[in-house]
Amino acid sequence: MEGRIFEICFTGFGSIKKRELIALTKTAKIDQFIVRTEVTKNLDFLCCGKNAGPVKISEAQAQGCYILDEAAFMNLLETGLINVNGEGVRLTKDDPAPEICFTGFGDDANGKLYQLTESAVKHGFVVRNSITNGVGFLCCSSAPDAYLGFTKIAKAVADGLIVLSDNEFTELLNTGELPKSPWLCNEMFSTPHIAADLLGIIYDKALQQRAG
């Protein structure tokens, strides 16, 4: 579970004590914590002081959050364990759903994008309209008349995304394995725009790193 990111909320503490506890989340030795001010849908822990309100506690319990006191929270920071029926338990947390963006499908007159999107969602993907933080895949139309955004493809490569053709993405869904001879390799070297844009982005990043 090392490297997991959990969400936590503190309630029922005085303002000074609450700030101290929030600061302590940065010292966690096993996991990382995101501090929330309310009981959110993804909250994992509600840490309660003596003045914690019953409504917030009930709300957290209803969605399966773990309720901690200060001592349990301190132990969690140090060991990554919580007390469950008298035993120290290391929590697990599902990995976030993979995110994908599609490009080059135009108005989707043949319904290809609709089919791919439907299949992606059924296989647990979150579909995004643009390359935002968290997107790990870019799926490109391989149709001969597809209008591909070369800058978008180059940026995706430079940012470490997995770039696939529509056929390769379908293969990935069917087999669970990435293609051994990616479509992008041939496309990049046969399309000067992509290579040029990629080199430009890499050069800009190098300048930014040098300036920083």
Q: pLDDT tens for residues 137-189?
A: 999 888 877 777 677 777 787 777 888 889 999 988 888 887 766 666 555 54
Largest CA distance in the chain: 67
The per-residue pLDDT for range 73-92, each reduced to its tens digit, is 999 988 888 877 677 777 76
Which band of pLDDT confidence, cut at 50, 70 and 90, is reported for residue 1? very low
- Write out the H or E segment, with its range, that includes residue 67: strand 66-68
Decide if 5-90 and 99-209 have a common fold. Answer: yes
Count the neighbouring beta carbons within 10 Å of the beta carbon of residue 120.
22
Average pLDDT score, the chain = 80
Closest listed residue to residue 138, CA positions, set 162, 109, 159, 113? 162
From 3.40.50.360, 3.40.50.10190, 3.40.50.300, 1.10.10.60, which CATH number describes the 99-209 domain? Answer: 3.40.50.10190
As a CATH number, domain 5-90 is: 3.40.50.10190
What value does the mean pLDDT take over residues 105-118? Answer: 87
- What pLDDT score was predicted for residue 170? 92
Whether the predicted pLDDT of 196 surpasses 60: no
Give the range among 8-12, 26-30, 46-50, 194-198 with minimum mean pLDDT: 194-198
Q: Where are the domains of the chain?
A: 5-90, 99-209
Token look-up 């209803």 returns: 62
Angle at 80 between CA 92 and CA 45, to 5 degrees: 70
Which band of pLDDT confidence, cut at 50, 70 and 90, is reported for residue 118? very high
Supply the pTM of this predicted model.
0.49
